[in-house]
Homo-oligomer: A and B are copies of this chain.
């Protein structure tokens, strides 16, 4: 339909390559520019909805020429997603700094504890990020990261008890989906409960199921 929008697959690849190359060589200046753009974006997302933000808004906030934007990123989504690369670092850091007392990291579904606390600390930020059209992108990213943790954990803990009804990936999906559903609800309502309450409720349901809640 749109001529502008729809580059052939190949053309897009090529320019992505160029951009990627620029990304890896990484002059000091280029790096500064990219960082400024990332910062500008999250700054703006906090105060208004993701898709009410134009690229011009971002470049203006970053004090950068609009054409410069296109020298580094293909897209607003591209900018967002690449900025999310740091997320993994933040999360692992949160995990490590959250020195759990007794047994800590050995607890099942350990991620729930430090993640919930992390979300609480930054809840203004995360609430903004998850609002609007940016939400799905960010939630997907977080899901991806958590899935990795859960997958590893489940693989490690798997008991050899024989007949395993479901493929493990279902359990991973189940757990992560349930967790995100609970915490987005929690954040949306203003994070009224403490992280501990959320963590505990989640873990109870995840480990013990609904069974105990129900009659007969």
**Measuring CB to CB, which residues of chain A are less than 8 angstroms from any residue of chain B?**
1-3, 5-6, 51-52, 54, 57, 74-75, 78, 108-109, 133, 135-136, 143, 154, 157-159, 161, 164-167, 169-171, 173-182, 185, 197-198, 200-202, 204-216
What are 9 A-B pairs with beta-carbon distances under 8 A?
Answer: A1-B54, A1-B78, A143-B181, A159-B213, A166-B205, A167-B201, A174-B206, A175-B210, A209-B211
Given B75, B161, B169, B213, which contacts A1 in the complex, CB threshold below 8 Å? B75
On chain B, the residues within 8 Å of A74 by CB distance are 1-2
* A204 CB → nearest B CB, Å: 6
Copies of this subunit = 4
- Give Cα distance in the complex from A161 to B182, angstroms: 23
Known A-B contacts A2-B74, A135-B136, A214-B157; the reply to A173 vs B165 at CB < 8 A is: no
User: Contact between B204 and A166 (Cβ–Cβ < 8 Å)?
Assistant: yes
On chain B, the residues within 8 Å of A174 by CB distance are 178, 181-182, 202, 205-206
User: Contact between B201 and A154 (Cβ–Cβ < 8 Å)?
Assistant: no
* A174 CB → nearest B CB, Å: 5
On chain B, the residues within 8 Å of A158 by CB distance are 213-215
Select from chain B the residue with minimum beta-carbon distance to A160.
B215
